[in-house]
Amino acid sequence: MRLQLRNRLLERTTVNPSAVIDLCRRQGIQMVDLRFTDLFGTWQHFSLPVEELDEGLFLEGIGFDGSSIRGFQHIDESDMIVVPDPSTARVDPLLRVPTLILICDVFDPVTRERYTRDPRYVAQKAEDYLVRTGIATATYWGPEAEFFVFDDVRYDLTVNTAFYAVDSDEAIWNTGRDGRPNLGYKIRHKEGYFPTPPTDSLQDFRSELVLKLRQAGLEVEVHHHEVATAGQCEIDLRFSTLTDMADRLMLYKYLVKMFAREKLKVATFMPKPLFGDNGSGMHCHQSLWKDGVNLFYDPNGYAQLSELAMYYIGGLLAHSPALMAFCAPTTNSYRRLVPGYEAPVNLVYSQRNRSAAIRIPMYSTSPRAKRIEYRPPDPSCNPYLAFAAMLMAGLDGIKRKIDPGLPMDVDLYELPPEEAAKIKQVPGSLDEALDALEADHEFLLEGDVFTRDLIETYIEHKRRKEADFVRMRPHPAEFYLYFDA
């Protein structure tokens, strides 16, 4: 597929290259930052003086070395090009030099075709496939990406030592800190939701950050302290369509980290940086719409859900073990996905129940508000791949009419052992999730949304560079347990 899909998507926006160039002129932009995402969810970039930005750049693109990007090309086929998407133009509110951000699509310079391992292309293909199925015309997404804000972080890993240490002025372990001043008001473990300042020491931090997000064009619905001690936060973005929300989430994570650094703090989206307290998840609200009608709503259904929504849930639950390879894609993700700590490990659905993998929010009876919330993902994921994979699982459930079974409107953590043993759970490790993806990925290949090449490359990297990297190293807890063996 050459430029056809990209052009169809661009037709949906009124932003064109000339408007972007005019924006640069009006805003006094001096640098243009071109950004794209590697296979595993890290933003990459390079910058041009604004004088180099012309309408030709939006047609011809500009080259880069694909062999230096994780999950992309080999060195003997390294030349790639990025083509900016004018609809993504945003002024960076934090860089000192006036800079315009443009998110790019990746192309092969020889064939001029889209690059199949470009995660943004996968997301765009998923949206296009949804329309081609005739099931819906739009899908809306609202991720809740939690994060920690620390005042200090130190870590090292060598042949003979391994350690990490994080610290926060508001953490419960600092009640006895010998410092001047120690102003008290520390957050006890699992009690960070929702005390007012001064206990919530990050109120102004989050409020100022929200203003920066809004300056960048991100619509924010709410912000608050989260459950854990030591600076766990949540800022919720207003829902949007799949690819656009993935774009917004990449910008959101970038701005959170940049603003923290400006305040001499450090933000992390690592799922489980603290032992014995809640980790950071990314609950994903999602729905399907057709010609302005919410297909998930039925006033007579369970929790006002339609039959189509139930099949969508069936698809998510059936494919969840494989989905975790994209939605909870780090070894650290499985420090969070353990029973307790509000971890959604149980593959069931329920209204209001936060111990289930899928919750149906009941805050509103409006047809427009009806949606499902998929809770296992965490913010370490590549949102383009994770959102696309979840959509493909849900669509497979609709096509195959997968019955999700009965809801579980009970506290799953309090079930008797014999009952709990009957409930399927998410994988217990990254290795298990990758095994599940190897065994169950045909649903992702529908419509050529994912390709076998992308899936194989992703699995190989995750196994060799991450799972094996962690598995082969002695753990500090092993010294505690076994040094006197």
pLDDT of residue 306: 98
pLDDT of residue 13: 54
Q: What phi, psi does 173 have (nearest 5°)?
A: -75, -5
DSSP per position, 361-410: --S---GGG--EEE-S--TTS-HHHHHHHHHHHHHHHHHHT----S---S
How far apart CA 73 and CA 71 sit, in angstroms, is 7
pLDDT of residue 360: 95
CA-based nearest residue to 34, from 18, 48, 49: 48
pLDDT of residue 11: 47
Q: What phi, psi does 38 have (nearest 5°)?
A: -75, 180
The pLDDT confidence band at residue 14, using thresholds 50, 70 and 90, is low
Per-residue tokens: 4: 């056809």
Quote the pTM value.
0.95
CA-based nearest residue to 317, from 354, 352, 350: 350
Q: What percent of the chain has pLDDT over 90?
A: 87
| pLDDT tens figures, 390-428 | 999 999 999 999 999 999 988 777 778 888 888 999 999
Task: Write the CATH number of the domain with boundaries 4-114.
Answer: 3.10.20.70
Average pLDDT, the chain: 94
How far apart CA 358 and CA 314 sit, in angstroms, is 10
Residues with a catalytic annotation lie at: 65, 144, 146, 226, 234, 283, 354, 373, 375
Name the one residue in this structure whose structure tokens are 């390879």. 325
| pLDDT tens figures, 48-77 | 999 999 999 999 999 999 999 999 988 777
Residue 127 pLDDT > 50:
yes
Better-scored residue on pLDDT, 335 or 343 = 335
Instruction: Give me the mean pLDDT over the 194-216 stretch.
Output: 97
Better-scored residue on pLDDT, 431 or 1 = 431
Instruction: Give me the mean pLDDT over the 420-442 stretch.
Output: 95
Per-residue tokens: 240: 């949007």
Q: What's 138-482's CATH class?
A: alpha beta
CA-based nearest residue to 209, from 195, 197, 223: 223
The pLDDT confidence band at residue 341, using thresholds 50, 70 and 90, is low
Residue 26 pLDDT > 90:
yes
Element (H, E) at 103: strand 99-107
Please report, for the chain, the start and end positions of each structural domain, with discontinuous segments joined by +: 4-114, 138-482
CA distances from 220 to 20, 46, 249, 310, 416 (A): 24, 28, 12, 29, 41
Q: What angle do CA 448, 449, 451 make, to 5 degrees?
A: 65
| pLDDT tens figures, 141-198 | 999 999 999 999 999 999 999 999 999 999 999 999 987 889 999 999 999 999 999 9
Residue 220 pLDDT > 50:
yes
Neighbours of 251 (CB within 10 A): 22
pLDDT of residue 343: 81
Q: What phi, psi does 469 have (nearest 5°)?
A: -60, -40
Residue 244 pLDDT > 80:
yes
Task: Report the sign of the C-alpha dihedral through residues 111, 116, 118, 120, in that order.
Answer: positive
Q: What angle do CA 387, 83, 17 make, to 5 degrees?
A: 105
How far apart CA 57 and CA 306 sit, in angstroms, is 46
Residue 9 pLDDT > 60:
no
Residue 29 pLDDT > 70:
yes
pLDDT of residue 422: 85
